[in-house]
Structure 1
């Protein structure tokens, strides 16, 4: 089974997807990491984030062993990832990587922004996770502070709103729920509540109730 978890950044979908994969014994891929890896490579090399040739080359030469690099979680890299993800050559280079991962038995949970619409349109379960932008900004601020980074909530909120606008209106794979996706509003749910809600959706689909 393939479970596609989509939604905007800091909506809680990453933790939810990881917990969901652990619950079912499936593989998990945070697809945002691969775009962050591309962005980090460009930043590290001093390249323009909109350099299509350099970005595509970085996407073709990813090393999965670097995906747990804590530097990928920084606010700077996250914002840069949103920019490089809009480059068609980058997306094309990473689609096959994601689809091969999704095909791993016994199943996989992928979370990102276009899993249910582009990467795995035939996924058995599609969940689109949302949360109020102010709540997302607060969560992102707490995460940054926990890592010892300076963080201003109003600045992070402005960045989140700008990123949503950019992702929702990009020409390639815009951020939007698949027509057959189930909406999960995570604004006022804690981690356990969000995971339970997601499991309920998966079990309902498996039982043919949805």
Structure 2
């Protein structure tokens, strides 16, 4: 049996991290963990409980309620991957809305939230054979990951992809609003004090501005198989 590795995929929002991570995990028979969905689930909880709005976050109240927040992943045959559950409720679709996207970076900047979720993520990937995507996987969650990737693309290209994705889900959004959200999230993710989005020194950068989903997958699969072969 070949030794399994940890694959950490970091990068900006809407760079297709989750898409390629799901494909990769399926191809390699690895576990896939969408850490962004975990932060989105906490954000949804905060929204439902009136702990966040456009002008403020009730940080202390949210921190006090963290023990009440349970996040898990349950494989969904119809989707072909594990859906995210918040306190035993499937919230996979709800956490993907633009409304949640507008608040998630603020929630992700709270150190106590990050601490809780990072511990959970490390536990999920402790036995290797995992593909995990997010903002700080290669720098904080798994700094010793055997393969680290950093995904990037222009803000305009990422907004276009996100806009098309939301329209396909029949959500009423405008391209300008999506672009603004992408730019705001980039700023918040890269400037927050706790675990800002940065490229790990040993990460391989993938600019997929002009790559198709299949081209991106083939490139990353090749890199993964090379590292797995080296480890065996």
TM-score normalised over the length of structure 2: 0.85
1:19 and 2:45 aligned:
no
The equivalent of 2:80 in structure 1 is none
Higher deviation after alignment, 150-159 or 23-32? 150-159
Q: Select 1:9's aligned residue among 13, 21, 30.
A: 13
Does the C-alpha gap of structure 1 residues 46 and 158 become closer, same or farther in structure 2, counting only changes over 3 Å? same
The equivalent of 1:199 in structure 2 is 221
The equivalent of 1:87 in structure 2 is 110
Per-residue deviation at 1:145? 0.7
Q: Secondary structure at the match of 1:64?
A: strand
Per-residue deviation at 1:59? 4.1
1:48 and 2:52 aligned:
yes
Give, in whole Å, the separation in 1 of the partners of 2:193 and 2:39: 17
Q: Select 1:171's aligned residue among 193, 210, 217.
A: 193
The equivalent of 1:62 in structure 2 is 70
Q: Select 1:187's aligned residue among 191, 209, 221.
A: 209
1:77 and 2:100 aligned:
yes
Contact 1:5–1:116, Cα closer than 8 Å, also in 2 = yes
Per-residue deviation at 1:148? 0.9
Per-residue deviation at 1:32? 0.4
Give, in whole Å, the separation in 1 of the partners of 2:153 and 2:137: 18
Unaligned runs of 5+ in 1: none
Query: Matched residue pairs, number?
Result: 208
Residue-by-residue CA offset, 1:173-198 (whole Å, 9 max, x unaligned): 01011000000111111111111111
Contact 1:17–1:109, Cα closer than 8 Å, also in 2 = yes
Unaligned runs of 5+ in 2: 74-84
Q: Select 1:116's aligned residue among 138, 142, 158.
A: 138
Structure (1/2) with the larger strand percentage: 2
Report the RMSD for the aligned CA atoms in angstroms: 1.7
Per-residue deviation at 1:102? 0.9
- Aligned runs of 1:123-134 on 2, under 5 Å? 123-134=145-156
